[in-house]
Amino acid sequence: MTTSTVHALPTIAWPVRTHLTKIQTGAGSINGLVDELDFLEKERAVVIAGPNAAKGPTFQRILDLLGPRCVATYTGVQMHTPRHTVYDATDVVTAARADVLVTLGGGSTSDLAKAVATMLGEGRPIEELHSEFTPPDTYVEQFLKRPKMPQISVPTTLSGADVAAGFGVMGPDHLKRICRGDYVAARVVFLDPEATLETPLEAFAHSGMNGLAHGIEALYSRTREPLSTAMALESIRLFVTNLLLVMDRPSDLDIRLDLLWANVLGGMLLSNARMGIHHGVSHALGGSLGMTHGFSNALMLPYTLQYNLEYVAPYIARAAVPLGLAVAGQSDIDAARAVIDKIFEVRTALRVPRTLRDLPEPPSDQTLRELSETVYSFERSTYFNPRPIRSADDVYELFRLANG
Q: Which residues of the chain form contacts with Fe ion (CB under 5 A)?
A: 210
| Beta carbon of residue 162, minimum distance to Fe ion (angstroms, whole number) | 13
Task: Give the residue with the Cβ less far from Fe ion, 50 or 266.
Answer: 266
Return the DSSP state at 26.
S
Task: Give the residue with the Cβ less far from Fe ion, 30 or 269.
Answer: 269
Is the bond preceding 136 in cis, omega lying within 30 degrees of 0? yes
Q: In Å, what is the CA distance from 90 to each residue of 186, 221, 320, 338?
A: 17, 34, 45, 47
Ranked by CB distance to Fe ion, the top (closest) residue is: 210
Task: Give the residue with the Cβ less far from Fe ion, 150 or 215.
Answer: 215
User: What is the rounded CA–CA span in Å between residue 364 and residue 116?
Assistant: 37
Task: Give the residue with the Cβ less far from Fe ion, 80 or 337.
Answer: 80
Task: Give the residue with the Cβ less far from Fe ion, 187 or 279.
Answer: 279
Task: Give the residue with the Cβ less far from Fe ion, 110 or 210.
Answer: 210
| Beta carbon of residue 293, minimum distance to Fe ion (angstroms, whole number) | 6
Q: Sort 151 into a burial class: Cβ within 10 Å, 0-12 / 13-18 / 19+.
A: buried
| Beta carbon of residue 221, minimum distance to Fe ion (angstroms, whole number) | 13
What 86-89 contacts at long range (C-beta under 8 Å, 24+ apart), as own/partner pairs, is: 86/112, 86/115, 86/116, 86/119, 86/126, 86/169, 87/126, 89/48, 89/113, 89/116
Q: How many helices (H) and strands (E) does the chain have?
A: 14, 11
| Beta carbon of residue 275, minimum distance to Fe ion (angstroms, whole number) | 7
| Beta carbon of residue 61, minimum distance to Fe ion (angstroms, whole number) | 28
Whether 232 contacts 216, CB under 8 Å: yes
| Beta carbon of residue 229, minimum distance to Fe ion (angstroms, whole number) | 18
Whether 268 contacts 164, CB under 8 Å: yes
**Degrees to nearest 5, angle at CA 143 with 275 and 128:** 100
Sign of CA dihedral 129, 130, 134, 139: positive
Q: Sort 369 into a burial class: Cβ within 10 Å, 0-12 / 13-18 / 19+.
A: middle
Residue type, 304: T
Task: Give the residue with the Cβ less far from Fe ion, 121 or 215.
Answer: 215
| Beta carbon of residue 133, minimum distance to Fe ion (angstroms, whole number) | 17
| Beta carbon of residue 210, minimum distance to Fe ion (angstroms, whole number) | 4
Task: Give the residue with the Cβ less far from Fe ion, 210 or 271.
Answer: 210
